[in-house]
Amino acid sequence: MNLLPGFAYIEMESISNLTPLVMKTLAGFIAGIPKAELHLHIEGTLEPEMMLALGERNGVPLPYPDADAAKSAYHFSDLQSFLDIYYRATAVLVTEQDFYDLTIAYLQKAVSRKVCHAEIFFDPQSHIARGVPFETVVGGIGQALSDANGGLGISTKLIMCILRHLSEEDGNAVLEQAVRWKRWISGIGLDSSEKGNPPGKFRELFAKARHYGFFTVAHAGEEGNASSISEALDALHVIRIDHGVHCMEDPVLVERLRLDRIPLTICPLSNVRLNVFGSMREHNLKTMLDAGLCVTINSDDPAYFGGYVNENYLAAAEALNLDRNDIIRLARNSFEASVLSNVQKKLYLQKLDHYVDSFIQ
């Protein structure tokens, strides 16, 4: 596919190796450490500059005269206030080329931040409701993933999220379409506004998804309390919880998560920007890590929340006094919590160990 004219894409040749001086800092260590990203909404990587370029290309009017005006509007009081802006911005995504451009831009950023593997969410229902066909969405995203797997050296899995504020019937309709695209779609997730939309609402849909051979994950315990996490595990039988920060309210649940090694994909900057925590210093990531939970760091919707995966690592490290051992554990968790095969996990973990050994030497 042709890339978006006039948009600045990262050329792999321009990504230089880290200098020894930079490597001696914790920021440098984070920048270079191999990692996986498991909680990333591709629509949430739509940077203001690309949004404006796509709006102009597709004749979609936007309320922002420039990128700075768009960024200044990104003030959120809670998850719903963010979703209102988020869904409005996706109106510029119309063609297969748009979804390709969006996805390849993220993958190039990910590779530059030493992300070796990415498991990426997309929300087809939000696009279908605007008249964009399912095949247009998945075609553009899937082709970008395929090109990146070969050209950028990053492995990927694509997860189709069900919008929980819509009905299970609506979700079932899009699930039936996903079956035809299993060559690209590997998993089914659950996202959108958690309040008033408990996991059990989609019990039958997730059972059907597992029957079709999809792995399943769900957002829970972001807006909702610890019981939302337990319900996602018991009603949906998911293998991983996205967010899950409210698990610490329930010691029994914490022990279950620890013993069963159920991963939690934490998004620090997102949690602060959406007022789940008042500040990064108040975040419970370190407490969860010290409790033996399999927590990972991710960027969620980086175009809106102030940073990609490395920026999330660094913000958490600085505020919570994470040391190099914590960073190594988080990076190891990211591969272990993925749906990669055991052989693939072993290879990535060896790459991680080699990086750590080289740093120590």
Q: Which domains are delineated in the chain?
A: 28-360 (3.20.20.140)
Q: Judge whether 246 is annotated as a binding position.
A: no
| Amino acid (1-letter code) at residue 91 | A
- What lies within 8 Å, CB to CB, of 268 at 6+ separation is 280, 283, 285, 297, 312, 315, 316
Q: Please give the pLDDT value at position 3.
A: 52
- Counting residues of the chain whose pLDDT is more than 90, the rounded percentage is 84
**Contact present, 141 and 105 (Cβ < 8 Å):** no
CA distances from 227 to 173, 202, 233, 259 (A): 28, 16, 10, 18
Q: Judge whether 300 is annotated as a binding position.
A: yes
Q: Please give the pLDDT value at position 24.
A: 58
- pLDDT digit string (tens) for 72-114? 888 888 888 888 888 888 999 999 999 999 999 999 999 999 9
Q: Which residue from 284, 285, 294 is spatially nearest to 334, judged by alpha carbons? A: 294
Q: Which residue from 97, 148, 94, 79 is spatially nearest to 120, judged by alpha carbons? A: 148
222 is catalytic: yes
- pLDDT digit string (tens) for 40-74? 999 999 999 999 999 999 999 988 889 998 888 88
Q: Check residue 304 and give left, alpha or beta (phi > 0: left; psi -120 to 50: alpha).
A: alpha
Two structure tokens written together for 151: 């050209």
Measured in degrees and rounded to the nearest 5, phi and psi for residue 98 equal -60, -45
- What lies within 8 Å, CB to CB, of 301 at 6+ separation is 41, 43, 44, 45, 82, 86, 270
**Contact present, 205 and 162 (Cβ < 8 Å):** yes
Q: Check residue 323 and give left, alpha or beta (phi > 0: left; psi -120 to 50: alpha).
A: beta
Whether the predicted pLDDT of 122 surpasses 60: yes
Q: Judge whether 301 is annotated as a binding position.
A: yes
pTM of the predicted structure, to 2 decimals: 0.92
**Catalytic: which of 37, 43, 96, 222?**
222
Q: Judge whether 323 is annotated as a binding position.
A: no
Q: How many CA atoms lie within 13 A of 287 on its CB side?
A: 12
**Stretch 202-226: mean pLDDT:** 98
- What lies within 8 Å, CB to CB, of 138 at 6+ separation is 122, 124, 158, 181, 184, 185
When comparing pLDDT for 249 and 79, which is higher? Answer: 249
With 0-12 CB in 10 A as exposed, 13-18 as middle and 19+ as buried, what is 311?
middle
